[in-house]
Amino acid sequence: MTGGSLADRVVLVTGSSRGIGAEVAVKAGAEGATVAVHYHRSRAGAERTIERIRAAGGAADAFEADVADGAQAEGLVAQVLERHGRLDGLVNNAGRTLVGPFLETSADTWEEVIRTDLTAAFHTCRAALPSMLERGSGSIVNLASRLAQMGVAETAAYSAAKAGLLGLTRALAKEFGPRGIRVNAVAPFVTVTDMTAGLVDSNEGSRRLRDAALGRFGRADEVADTVLFLLSDVSSLYTGQTLNPNAGAYMP
């Protein structure tokens, strides 16, 4: 990246008050984008992300929405378009993890995970695509997971949602590629964030670490670098792809 690969572009990153989303937002701002920082509950986290973006020389503002609610997800995109007049990049990062026995997963919990991790992207993409199509360009990046690509016990709802996100990615890439829109996915391994601290330090974390050829978990900034690549014109030939910053924990 040159420090200006996203200059004059507007990028919305859902779930960017912390974790991978925050790192994507900060790096996008450093590359010249005006960043729409989305949060649900943590306004303070969103403000910290905005401070980091501005410190890196970028511009940003905050938008609140519960993307598990379809109307709010579409309203989020509408607010960004109203304020900035365009949307060049959309990163569907907001998500909810769930680990537990399948037979103990309630229907309500299942639906909540699917709404947050899959259906939200349906709504944000549907709201963002018309603006992108008007200009004949745009990049959408969906944050999936290694769990979408392989079987891991007691992750049924999360794995199913993320696998659906990969299918959505490919279908939209086929439909809108001829009109200048690129749609890709990123499927990381366990990434060290505040959300994964319990897993990283657990016996299950140690077990998963054995899968990694590099012998370590990823960092949020490393995953963000992959997302930034897909947002920029450096990846102009990439669409319908799933990139795997996973330390060799899954080799398709």
Catalytic residues: 158
Tell me which amino acid residue 169 is.
T
Q: How far is CA 249 from CA 71, 166, 244, in A?
A: 37, 18, 9
The two most distant CA atoms of the chain are separated, in Å, by 50
Asked if 126 contacts 73 with a C-beta cutoff of 8 angstroms, the reply is: no
If you search the block for the tokens 């779930």, which residue do you land on? 15
- C-alpha 60/C-alpha 110 separation (Å) is 34
How many CA atoms does the CB half-sphere of 237 hold within 13 Å?
Answer: 0
CA gyration radius for the chain? 17
Tokens of 47: 């403000």
Q: Which tokens is 166 given?
A: 């990969």
